[in-house]
Amino acid sequence: MGASEIRELLKVIEAPGVISFAGGIPDPALFPQAAVAEAYRHVLTATGPAALQYSVSDGDPELKSWVVRHMARLGVPCEPENILITSGSQQGLEFLGRLLISPGDAALVAAPTYLGALQAFSAYEPRYDALPTAETNRTATSYGERAPAFAYVVPEFANPSGETMDAAQRRDLLALARDLGTLVIEDSPYAELRFEGEAPPALLATDIAETGHIDRSRVAYCGSFSKIFTPGLRVGWICARADLIERLVLVKQASDLNAPRINQLVILRLAETLYAEQVAKARATYRVKRDAMLAALAAHMPAGARWTRPEGGMFIWLEVDGDFDAKAMLPDAVEAGVAYVPGSAFHHDGAGRNAMRLSYSLPDPATIETGVKRLAALISENIGGGRVRA
Amino acid sequence: MGASEIRELLKVIEAPGVISFAGGIPDPALFPQAAVAEAYRHVLTATGPAALQYSVSDGDPELKSWVVRHMARLGVPCEPENILITSGSQQGLEFLGRLLISPGDAALVAAPTYLGALQAFSAYEPRYDALPTAETNRTATSYGERAPAFAYVVPEFANPSGETMDAAQRRDLLALARDLGTLVIEDSPYAELRFEGEAPPALLATDIAETGHIDRSRVAYCGSFSKIFTPGLRVGWICARADLIERLVLVKQASDLNAPRINQLVILRLAETLYAEQVAKARATYRVKRDAMLAALAAHMPAGARWTRPEGGMFIWLEVDGDFDAKAMLPDAVEAGVAYVPGSAFHHDGAGRNAMRLSYSLPDPATIETGVKRLAALISENIGGGRVRA
């Protein structure tokens, strides 16, 4: 399923009357609109024309300092030279792909994994390999002579599975990266959206604890303000060893010179004044929606349907036993007034035919209940066998 | 001269007391700061949370419509599907490099040419060739079997030379592109900053007149709002055949999803209300500065120094006869309180040793006079032979 196919799909999904679990984007009701307006006014007054000029490629120094303090709270001691401000964390993924992948290199990804990461990496022609799991029991020797370019994971409330890597999985991944001599890309846009349970330490934090210093770490952490404040300003960051950041700064300079400074300064002001408050608000909002979706799934889904129970984030992954084809069912679903993204979109090899990603981030709880009811009815029919398409 | 070398250089150049002709960035006194503040306020009120949400990768539809009308004024009839909004025109160059260059492909560039373009293209490992000139008399057959990836030009008030391609040069370039079966990248951020003389038609306009339709054209036009309003919002565009734009939209999606929508809407509001006024203001400001620099050069430069006389834009290219090394002289120049960018930075092959780029965009006329005097004195000494460094 290519990018353009997904885009066509999303157009259909936006049809009126369709309850969409497809989006996977933040609830705009959470955007701190008044604070954003105040921040633009403030920045233009306080910083003046310099807020509107070209600026340094590595990012605004004050915003970088805020990110350094934020990473310290996550157990990652680092310095400004370990930070690059990116135009959203998507840009971080694309830059790492560009810098690290030579055509034919292995890129290790989870199955399923974030579609946007596959899009960012694929331009550089990697060969995708599934990350080893306890089941596959693969080891370093399976990867041949040339080390993979990297292993890519969304360790917390993954897009699309909603799952969180446990301590053993994290330990195994870091050990594998060391054995292979490869990098781990830790894509962590959702980590703050934890509703319950204890947050495991970031992979980067664990690796620094083991190696003694970020400049010896094998983990590049991609962070984002998109899920806390707004994705519309396109501000994220990479935190990694200084020698890698130095090369990424040159990539940034060649790519678009710098992220808009005014947007960086607005995000800084929001971060300094509103961070904890916004995190609390987002957690409360998404938690209610997750609870609504889990309750509706339990109430309405037929036997043969299984789903994840995320401790945070925006996504639930639903699988249906037997000869079920989520992509083939989508037109009927849209007809019935509910939409999702078929699971195959999140696999590099077209697997995931029997799965779908459900996002609860946009609709309100009552609408979630209605949408899940519609979806459950349709899945029941399809399990019945009558309307499964090839 | 690598990117990092330039960055180190620019740090030195920003030392206090140094008159810098190095910058090449817009005069911040021209930024419409109050209008920008008003536009952010307006957009957040009128568009609401949608201004802060993820948005379409090809760019805001209304801004694209404005660009379509703008291109029509430049003699380029086109449709929204011929436009991609980019994060500054630098991103347009990088995308075109990524899409079009396979390692070892020829990329035809002027000598000297824009440093940022070389940085954008070099990641994709082209082999640079100088664009044929009347002197070199090269033809299509010189380029062997594989067509070059593209020919790249800044046809108006080029960075760094300040020169404008005349009608014959444009005709020859388009004929060469047809013969070679290659694309022309028309990088045109300065075209509106014309102080005098008549604007030649855009290469894209000429090519459409010849081929009958933009979708048969061999020219990709990169435009920018950076030199009219502000570079700090990072908004530019590519205008080209629809099949190329379609592929570039996927590149944009994979790279950073979309340019910040709020910034696009702010630029749209400025474009709708202030475009002509800002263009007039910028022309008047830079014209006075150019005149000041030309007058100072004529008054103070020794025999053996030659320079271009730009009809617009921000740059003058100065060459010195004989065994002169602009890069070697730079530390002495900074010591004497004046700075420039050595000509070798703008050549893919390290040529341009005896040249420098002088930008008059930032200092006021009196400061320009003082700076040129300092520079002329130093060049006179160096022509004298005593202090030329290896």
**Which of A26, A44, A257 is closest, CB to CB, to B88?**
A257
Among A15-19, B7-11, B172-176, the least confident range: B7-11
Rounded Cα distance, B252 and B256, in Å: 6
pLDDT class of A389 with cuts at 50, 70, 90:
very low
DSSP A141: G
Closest by Cβ to A28, choosing from B50, B230, B260: B50
Using the Cβ of B28 and the Cβ atoms of chain A, whether some distance falls under 8 Å is answered with yes
For residue A137, is pLDDT > 90?
A: no
* Sign of the alpha-carbon dihedral angle for A34, A37, A41, A46: positive
Alpha carbon A129 to its chain's center = 19
Place of tokens 């075109």: B96
By Cβ distance, the residue of B50, B116, B262 closest to A233 is B262
- pTM, two decimals, is 0.95
- The reply to whether A275 touches chain B by the CB within 8 Å rule is no
**Taking residues A257-278, what's their average pLDDT?**
97
State pLDDT tens for residues B232-277.
Answer: 999 999 999 999 999 999 999 999 999 999 999 999 999 999 999 9
Please give the share of chain A, as a percent, with pLDDT higher than 90.
84
Contact yes or no for B251 and A123 at CB 8 A: yes
Contacts made by residues A145-149, CB under 8 angstroms, sequence distance 24+ = A146/A105, A146/A106, A147/A180, A147/A181, A147/A182, A148/A105, A148/A106, A148/A107, A148/A108, A148/A180, A148/A182, A149/A97, A149/A100, A149/A101, A149/A102, A149/A105, A149/A106, A149/A107, A149/A182, A149/A183
Give the tokens for residue B215. Answer: 């979708």
Chain B contact for A187, CB < 8 A? no
Would the CB atoms of A230 and B122 count as touching at under 8 Å?
A: no
> pLDDT at position A387, please?
46
Dihedral, CA of residue A100, residue A245, residue B231 and residue A61, to nearest 10: 160
Average model confidence (pLDDT) for chain B?
A: 92
Across the A/B interface, how many CB contacts are shorter than 8 Å?
158
Determine contact: A262 vs chain B, CB below 8 A.
Answer: yes
Contact A85, B234 (CB under 8 A): no
Hey, are the CB atoms on B257 and A116 less than 8 Å from each other? Answer: yes
What is the rounded CA–CA span in Å between residue A69 and residue A271? 11
Distance of CA B308 to the CA centre of its chain: 16
Who among A3, A40, A257 is closest to B90 (CB)? A257
Element (H, E) at B19: strand B19-20
A37, A269 contact by CB (below 8 A):
no
Inter-chain touch B232–A54, beta carbons under 8 Å: yes
- What are A248's two structure tokens? 């990424």
What is the average pLDDT score of chain A? Answer: 92
Q: Alpha-carbon distance A5 to B331, whole Å?
A: 56
Q: What is the DSSP letter of A188?
A: -
Helix, strand or coil, per DSSP, at residue B224:
strand
Residues 63-82 of A with CB under 8 A from B: none
Measured between beta carbons, the chain B residues lying within 8 angstroms of A90 are 254-257
Tokens encoding B101: 């260059």
Asked if B256 and A234 come within 8 Å (Cβ–Cβ), the reply is yes
Give the three-state DSSP class for A101: coil
Residue A59 reports pLDDT greater than 90: yes
Contact assignment for B33 to A49 by CB distance below 8 Å: yes
pLDDT exceeds 70 at position A12: no
Segment B136-146, tens digit of pLDDT: 666 656 676 78
In angstroms, rounded to a whole number, what is the distance separating the alpha carbons of residues A327 and A375? 13
How would residue B47 be classed by pLDDT, with cut points 50, 70 and 90? very high
Q: Tell me, what DSSP letter sits at residue B51? A: G
Tokens of A83: 């930070």
Would an 8 Å CB–CB cutoff place B46 in contact with chain A? no
- Structure tokens, B33: 């700061």
Contact B359, B42 (CB under 8 A): no
Model pLDDT for residues B69-89, shown as the tens digit of each residue: 999 999 999 999 999 999 999
ipTM of the shown complex: 0.94
| A336-352: pLDDT as tens digits | 999 999 999 899 888 99
Q: pLDDT, tens digit, for every residue of B93-105? A: 999 999 999 999 9
Identify which of B330, B336, B320 has the alpha carbon closest to the alpha carbon of residue B384: B320
- In angstroms, the CA A374 to CA A300 distance is 9
Please tell me which of the candidates B4, B7, B233 has its beta carbon nearest to residue A260.
B233
DSSP A165: -
**A55·B4 Cβ contact <8 A:** no
Cβ contact A164:A158 at 8 Å? yes
**Per-residue confidence (pLDDT) for residue B10, from 0 to 100:** 64
